[in-house]
């Protein structure tokens, strides 16, 4: 009986190893050749319950135009593409990138708004953004999580502001 139990244990070890491999995060979906997303960051809101802002650079290094149709952010109930022009902000339904074109999603311009964030999203961590293109191709990349105002504070570090304090 012990021998049978030992044989069963040995026989199931490869299955257990397969199960462990399946539990690891899956590789990011493959995108059309030439599409890259760089410098991704998600700036968390100063007030809980407000949306976060997603910023990155998207490059179409391919030889055909692509159309960005949707965006998702892990840890957000929903995400939308928006654009600020002057004082007005409006949603972007779709965004075409011509061959060789680079589009920056940055404050005061095109950006992603991520709504209803999970409490686990905290400055210093990471999450993932997935861009979905017409035709179903996807591109996933990490986003660094930043506190609102963190970049401005880093820029001001080391400056003497004592003359402005009373």
Structure confidence by residue, pLDDT tens digits, 89-99: 999 999 999 99
Chain-wide mean pLDDT for the chain?
80
Q: What string of DSSP letters covers the chain?
A: -HHHHHHHHHHHHHHHHHHHHHHSPPPPPPPPTTEEEEEEEEEE-SSTTSPEEEEEEEEE-SSS-EEEEEEEETTEEEEEEEEEETTEEEE-S-EEE-TT-EEEE-TTSEEEEEEEE-TT--TT-EEEEEEEETTS-EEEEEEEEEETTHHHHHHHTT---GGG--
* Domains of the chain with CATH codes: 35-148 (2.60.40.1890)
- What pLDDT sits at residue 150? 56
- What pLDDT sits at residue 31? 59
Q: What is the pTM of this model?
A: 0.72
């Amino acid at each position: 009986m012990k021998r049978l139990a030992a044989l069963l244990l040995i026989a199931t070890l490869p299955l257990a190893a397969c199960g462990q491999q399946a539990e690891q995060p899956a590789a990011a979906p493959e995108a059309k050749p030439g599409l890259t997303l760089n410098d991704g960051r998600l700036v968390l809101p100063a007030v809980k319950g407000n949306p976060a802002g997603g910023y990155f650079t998207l490059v179409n290094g391919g030889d055909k135009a692509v159309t960005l149709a949707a965006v998702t952010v892990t840890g957000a109930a929903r995400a939308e593409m928006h654009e600020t022009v002057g004082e007005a902000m409006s949603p972007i339904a779709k965004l075409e990138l011509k061959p060789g074109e680079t589009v920056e999603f940055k404050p005061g311009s095109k950006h992603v708004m991520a709504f209803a964030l999970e409490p686990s999203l905290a400055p210093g961590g990471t999450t993932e953004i997935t861009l979905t293109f017409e035709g179903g191709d996807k591109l996933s990349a990490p986003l660094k999580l930043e506190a609102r105002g963190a970049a401005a504070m880093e820029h001001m570090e080391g400056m003497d502001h004592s003359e402005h304090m009373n």
